[in-house]
């Protein structure tokens, strides 16, 4: 039986609708679960038992150290949960240990001291050769983990507050001696879960897993003022199997930036970031939403970012590297992105970021290939995008598909600009640069469906 036109439309529409619902259902179902097993601890200790006082004035450094020492020396196996009840716990920076859960109850705040004079210094990361912003060592992160396994930071959306304004002011006044501390850093660690916690006012980058594997970050909220310097949200760095999902980030710098070391130090260390998933992220920043770089000297591969919603942005999607970086950036997929009020939608560039020192090798050219960006929709985006490869290392396999960045109260002032790039573009509005449309590569737009996470 022939369906009449109206019915036909309705029929087609309902199929589309159910396909869309199905797609969303899949997007909602897919999760980081399984990458790191959830562990239940055999002991439950509370910070109060170690002298912890949540009055916002008492120093709790000793209480945290004693409690964590206790977990480190448990007689039974099975680890312990360190319970932080409601209250404001002021403390200096401290180290975590393996097989522990740091549990922040509703209304619990772990707050960094503003007395920065005794802040511990640690060695620079070998893949950076020096502190990221000052030569020499660097201040240890507020909450630190080195060489750990099986650590969970979770609870009922309690807060880890870095009280970063002291540090931001030192940066602004040029009085910083060493590189500012991250709020949380894990080094050489695996099986880490960070969930249901609020991170506030980090002195520098918020969450920095470096030389790590199997890291899950979900249901977190990361907040720092828009004008706070270098307060990146989450920076997976020379790490693999990192999964970030269902989070809100609003800071003064990139929301998520995948990195892998800096120039000659990162090349020598040679540890890539790989198999990184970022999904269902919402946020706002004067810099980038989803970024790769600019420190990518160990290489970055197999990144999937999907279902991302960005508001009041500098750049929506930013891949950035530089001459002297070396490193291969490949197999990067960004899909289903909505952005509103952005200076630029998409930027892929080979001239971003500074160098650790003058010893970088100008012949160490980065390689950027197989970058797929699909299903991007923008409102009030001033410039759709720019793709600038390097003359002696053109970016290849750059594929743009189903991208609409023209929706605006005022039309895009500047069209796409490209150089030293090849790839393809399908259904891109405004019409992208000729470099991308003229050099069709068959198969360049095939979207890898999933990333192996285990
Ligand atoms: C741990 O102990 C605290 C009280 O000290 C209690 O409120 C909390 O429910 C306990 N948590 C678990 C997981 O047993
Ligand atoms: C904390 O960890 C850092 C880095 O591993 C180490 O240098 C420092 O001595 C540790 N601090 C304490 C108090 O254990
Ligand atoms: C914590 O916040 C997240 C993100 O906003 C939310 O999804 C989750 O339900 C909250 N969890 C608790 C225990 O309140």
Domain end point (choices 200, 225, 251):
251
Res 434: pLDDT: 87
CB environment 363-388: b (16+ within 10 A), e (fewer): ebbbbbbbbbbbbbbbbebbbbbbbb
Q: What pLDDT digit, counting tens, does each position of 126-135 carry?
A: 999 999 999 9
Pairing of strands 108-112, 158-161: parallel
**Considering every ligand atom, which ligand is closest to the CA of 218?**
3
Residue nearest to atom 6 of ligand 2 (CA): 122
Res 397: pLDDT: 95
Residue 409 scores a pLDDT above 70:
no
| Ligand 1 mutation pick, 43, 44, 48, max ligand atoms within 8 A of CB | 44
Residue nearest to atom 14 of ligand 3 (CA): 156
Residue 26 scores a pLDDT above 80:
no
Res 29: pLDDT: 62
My answer on whether 322 and 395 are in the same domain is yes
Q: What pLDDT digit, counting tens, does each position of 417-437 carry?
A: 999 999 999 999 998 888 887
At residue 17 the predicted structure's pLDDT band, cuts being 50, 70 and 90, is very low
Domain end point (choices 227, 251, 275):
251
Task: Tell me the CA–centroid distance for residue 118 and ligand 1, in Å.
Answer: 33
Residues having CB closer than 6 A to ligand 2 are 95, 122, 140, 144, 146
My answer on whether 244 and 364 are in the same domain is no
Residue 15 scores a pLDDT above 70:
no
Q: The tokens of 363 are what?
A: 């012949």
My answer on whether 49 and 122 are in the same domain is yes
At residue 41 the predicted structure's pLDDT band, cuts being 50, 70 and 90, is very high
My answer on whether 419 and 368 are in the same domain is yes
- CB atoms inside a 10 Å sphere around CB 115: 11
76 Cα distance to chain centroid: 36
SS3 content of the chain, % helix, strand, coil (to 5): 15, 45, 40
Residue 182 scores a pLDDT above 70:
yes
Among 32, 34, 24, smallest CA distance to 276 is for 32
Are 81 and 45 within 8 A, CB to CB? yes
Least confident range of 9-18, 260-269, 274-283: 9-18
Q: What pLDDT digit, counting tens, does each position of 200-257 carry?
A: 999 999 999 999 999 999 999 999 999 999 999 999 999 999 999 999 999 999 999 9
Q: What pLDDT digit, counting tens, does each position of 382-396 carry?
A: 999 999 999 999 999
Structurally, how many domains does the chain consist of?
2
Res 181: pLDDT: 98
My answer on whether 71 and 22 are in the same domain is no
Cis peptide bond N-terminal to 294, omega within 30: yes
My answer on whether 5 and 59 are in the same domain is no
CATH of the domain at 445: 2.160.20.10
Res 27: pLDDT: 54
Average pLDDT over residues 358-370: 97
Res 75: pLDDT: 87
My answer on whether 213 and 259 are in the same domain is no
Res 410: pLDDT: 60
Task: Tell me the CA–centroid distance for residue 120 and ligand 2, in Å.
Answer: 8
Write out the DSSP string of 105-135.
-TTEEEEE-S--TTPPEEPPPTTTSS-SSSS
387 Cα distance to chain centroid: 22
At residue 18 the predicted structure's pLDDT band, cuts being 50, 70 and 90, is very low
My answer on whether 66 and 98 are in the same domain is yes
Q: What pLDDT digit, counting tens, does each position of 86-123 carry?
A: 999 999 999 999 999 999 999 999 999 999 999 999 99
| Ligand 2 mutation pick, 61, 146, 178, 208, max ligand atoms within 8 A of CB | 146
Residues having CB closer than 6 A to ligand 3 are 156-157, 196, 219, 221
- CB atoms inside a 10 Å sphere around CB 63: 20
- Which residues have a catalytic role annotated? 253
Half-sphere exposure of 162 (CA within 13 A, CB side): 33
Ligand 1 in reach of 21 Cβ (< 6 A): no
Task: Give the separation between CA 427 and CA 22, rounded to whole angstroms.
Answer: 23
At residue 323 the predicted structure's pLDDT band, cuts being 50, 70 and 90, is very high
My answer on whether 329 and 202 are in the same domain is no
Task: Tell me the CA–centroid distance for residue 144 and ligand 2, in Å.
Answer: 8
My answer on whether 23 and 88 are in the same domain is no
Task: Tell me the CA–centroid distance for residue 246 and ligand 1, in Å.
Answer: 26
Are 356 and 263 within 8 A, CB to CB? yes
Task: Tell me the CA–centroid distance for residue 105 and ligand 1, in Å.
Answer: 9
Domain span at residue 279 reads 1-30+254-454
Res 412: pLDDT: 56
Q: The tokens of 200 are what?
A: 């506030």
**How many percent of the chain have pLDDT more than 90?**
83
My answer on whether 84 and 151 are in the same domain is yes
144: Cβ–Cβ under 8 A, 6 or more apart, which residues? 93, 94, 95, 96, 122, 184, 185, 186, 187
Among 262, 256, 223, 22, smallest CA distance to 127 is for 262
Which strands form 94-95's sheet, in the order they lie side by side? 94-95, 143-146, 184-187, 207-210
Q: What pLDDT digit, counting tens, does each position of 130-181 carry?
A: 999 999 999 999 999 999 999 999 999 999 999 999 999 999 999 999 999 9
Residue nearest to atom 14 of ligand 1 (CA): 44
Domain end point (choices 251, 269, 301):
251
My answer on whether 274 and 246 are in the same domain is no
Residue 452 scores a pLDDT above 80:
no
Pairing of strands 197-200, 158-161: parallel
**How many percent of the chain have pLDDT more than 70?**
88
């Amino acid at each position: 039986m022939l369906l009449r036109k109206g019915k036909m439309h309705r029929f087609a529409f309902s199929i589309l609708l159910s396909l869309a619902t199905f797609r969303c259902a899949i997007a909602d179902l897919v999760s980081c679960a399984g990458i790191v097993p959830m562990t239940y601890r055999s002991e439950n200790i509370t910070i109060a038992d170690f002298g912890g006082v949540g009055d916002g004035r008492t120093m709790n450094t000793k209480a945290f150290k004693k409690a964590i020492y206790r977990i480190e020396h448990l007689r039974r196996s099975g680890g312990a949960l360190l319970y932080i009840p409601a209250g404001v716990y002021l403390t200096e920076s401290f180290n975590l240990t393996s097989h522990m859960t740091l549990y922040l109850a509703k209304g619990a705040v772990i707050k960094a001291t503003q007395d920065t004079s005794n802040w511990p210094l640690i060695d620079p990361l070998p893949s950076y050769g020096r502190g990221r912003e000052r030569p020499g060592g660097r201040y240890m992160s507020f909450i630190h983990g080195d060489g750990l396994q099986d650590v969970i930071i979770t609870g009922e959306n309690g807060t880890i507050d870095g009280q970063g304004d002291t540090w931001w002011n030192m940066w602004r006044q040029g009085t910083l001696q060493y590189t500012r501390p991250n709020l949380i850093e894990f080094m050489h660690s695996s099986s880490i879960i960070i969930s249901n916690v609020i991170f506030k006012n980090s002195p520098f980058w918020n969450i920095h897993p470096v030389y790590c594997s199997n890291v899950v970050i979900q249901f977190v909220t990361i907040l720092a003022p828009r004008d706070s310097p270098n307060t990146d949200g989450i920076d997976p760095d020379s790490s693999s199997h990192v999964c970030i999902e269902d989070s809100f980030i609003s800071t003064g710098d990139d929301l998520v930036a995948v990195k892998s070391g800096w120039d000659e130090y990162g090349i020598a260390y040679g540890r890539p970031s790989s198999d990184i998933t970022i999904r269902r992220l919402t946020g706002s920043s004067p810099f980038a939403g989803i970024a790769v770089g600019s420190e990518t000297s160990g290489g970055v591969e197999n990144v999937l970012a999907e279902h991302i919603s960005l508001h009041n942005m500098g750049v929506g999607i930013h891949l950035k590297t530089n001459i002297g970086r070396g490193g291969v950036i490949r197999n990067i997929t960004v899909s289903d992105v909505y952005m509103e009020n952005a200076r630029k939608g998409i930027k892929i560039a080979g001239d971003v970021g500074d160098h650790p020192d003058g010893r970088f090798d100008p012949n160490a050219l980065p390689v950027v290939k197989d970058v797929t960006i699909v299903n991007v929709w923008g409102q009030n985006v001033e410039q759709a995008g720019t793709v600038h490869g390097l003359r002696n290392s053109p970016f290849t396999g750059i594929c743009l598909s189903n991208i609409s960045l023209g929706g605006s109260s005022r039309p895009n002032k500047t069209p796409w600009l490209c150089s030293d790039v090849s790839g393809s573009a399908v259904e891109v509005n405004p019409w992208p640069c000729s470099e991308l449309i003229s050099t069709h590569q068959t198969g360049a737009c095939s979207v890898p469906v999933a990333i192996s996470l285990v």
